[in-house]
Structure 1
């Protein structure tokens, strides 16, 4: 049987870009069933599609997986607008059966309220200084290109996946300061709205911690971290990392294709939080 959750939240899939892990996120969703699936922004990367991005068959398969969850499991799917899929402004809010598209939402579960937003509205750079945001997007795209090169050589040496951009974020003091301020401001917003927690994405940094009495949850991304948030029926939240799932082909689905299910195991930290074994970082990243 599939593992069943009350709610699963994913964000920052960035479909249409080379860095998007569309196959992995579709495979991830194939392992679980849930009552509610929340797509918390930047699922489609409209910015890159306008420039050099391209739409692949694997990107379409991701949405096919979503449709199957709606049809077979009666999953309620909510798509929240992010900054990279701001083209949704032309149609939201909209409700079509079990699918709704909107800006943000209040989620109530087990007597607690959570404000769910992609998070870019609290980022003065992407909100007010769009040209700087695009410049940052170019730099991040370059890091992802370099990251693919680095991990190609790491795989050949039998080394685990390494996130170069997360390493840079952790080393550059301004980036660390920005992330801390971002998380604190979101916690303040949740408190102002009378909520017990805040759930977001945007900064590609998965997190589950308390900030001044507010539960701060960030679902991470599906470009590097490959993580999601999941809530059980008792209201407990956990981060699930794709790289920590033990995939084993133990049964066959109705379409006679092999399906892997997750075996319970202790979730570990993602690879980029470990020491950068076998990798030398050029000085210009510091």
Structure 2
């Protein structure tokens, strides 16, 4: 299985929270090389750090790994601001060598243009009713706490990881409606900017599909799904799920890299 990509996109790592899978992020970034690494928002969770979060050594190691990629592999790293790391507003735009911090960007590859943004700027709840967003964040944090307890029990029973919060979101009609609206609106924005597609995060739902002729790609998160978007050197995009990788063999089997499936999902075969 290929481990050298043109571009990798990670989002919603939420460093500074108990739910963040920082060790897994580091392990993933050691496994794969790329020319471009895009950190698409909510990498650091400033909201939780202001309240009950704490910064640990494992969180620092994520940035140590990113800096090593810049220094040793000459990887170009772009850190895009999300709603949970909105403290970056004080410094962006900023560019130091192969590291840049900015609000969003247009990414061009193999003749196609993609608008890359975290996604929160199109979320009216987050943008206009911030106190409701904080309230929702508290409920989500509780779900993640409960999810940890559930999976602790499942590990003891030899059962695989199960995302309780993803299950709840899939069953709540309003959440499903919100996600559908989010995806549709972002595709409209991409079209308005003359782009062929949109790459985002924010809603913690990894996906690749086509909506009204616009390619929609969401990198997911590193709290629940532990997923990343990867583009090979021919312009093919795919989703990679950490929990499906076999690190013990040192090389992943073909089935471990998960392309999205029809009818709700379609793989983007090539930029041309």
TM-score by length of 1: 0.89
Which whole-Å CA distance do the structure 1 matches of 2:53 and 2:7 have between them?
31
Q: CA RMSD in A?
A: 1.4
Map of 1:279 onto structure 2: none
Kept after mapping to 1: 8 A contact 2:21/2:223? yes
Map of 2:32 onto structure 1: 32
Map of 2:82 onto structure 1: 82
Map of 2:253 onto structure 1: 264
Deviation at 1:264, TM superposition (A): 3.0
* 1:111 to 2:111 alignment: yes
* 1:151 to 2:148 alignment: no
Map of 2:269 onto structure 1: none
* 1:190 to 2:220 alignment: no
Which whole-Å CA distance do the structure 2 matches of 1:180 and 1:80 have between them?
23
Deviation at 1:168, TM superposition (A): 0.7
Kept after mapping to 1: 8 A contact 2:205/2:219? yes
In the TM superposition, 1:1-286 aligns within 5 A as 3-248=3-248, 261-267=250-256
Kept after mapping to 2: 8 A contact 1:12/1:42? yes
| Secondary structure, counterpart of 1:160 in structure 2 | coil
How many residues align? The count is 259
Map of 2:267 onto structure 1: none
Unaligned runs of 5+ in 2: 260-272
Instruction: Please list the CA deviations of residues 4-37 of structure 1 after superposition, one character each: whole Å capped at 9, or x if unmatched.
Output: 1000000000000000000001100000110000
Deviation at 1:269, TM superposition (A): 6.6
Deviation at 1:246, TM superposition (A): 1.1
**Structure 1 consecutive aligned stretches of length 4 or more whose deviation exceeds 6 Å:** none
| Secondary structure, counterpart of 1:199 in structure 2 | strand
Kept after mapping to 2: 8 A contact 1:2/1:31? no
Cα 1:79–1:73 shift into 2, 3 Å: same
| Secondary structure, counterpart of 2:64 in structure 1 | helix
Cα 1:171–1:246 shift into 2, 3 Å: same
| Secondary structure, counterpart of 1:139 in structure 2 | helix
Deviation at 1:248, TM superposition (A): 2.2
Map of 1:252 onto structure 2: none
Kept after mapping to 1: 8 A contact 2:12/2:204? yes
Larger Rg: 1
Instruction: Please list the CA deviations of residues 32-82 of structure 1 after superposition, one character each: whole Å capped at 9, or x if unmatched.
Output: 110000000000000000000000000000000001100110000000000
Kept after mapping to 2: 8 A contact 1:2/1:33? no
Which whole-Å CA distance do the structure 2 matches of 1:269 and 1:96 have between them?
34
Which whole-Å CA distance do the structure 2 matches of 1:108 and 1:210 have between them?
18
Kept after mapping to 1: 8 A contact 2:240/2:258? no
Which whole-Å CA distance do the structure 1 matches of 2:252 and 2:49 have between them?
37
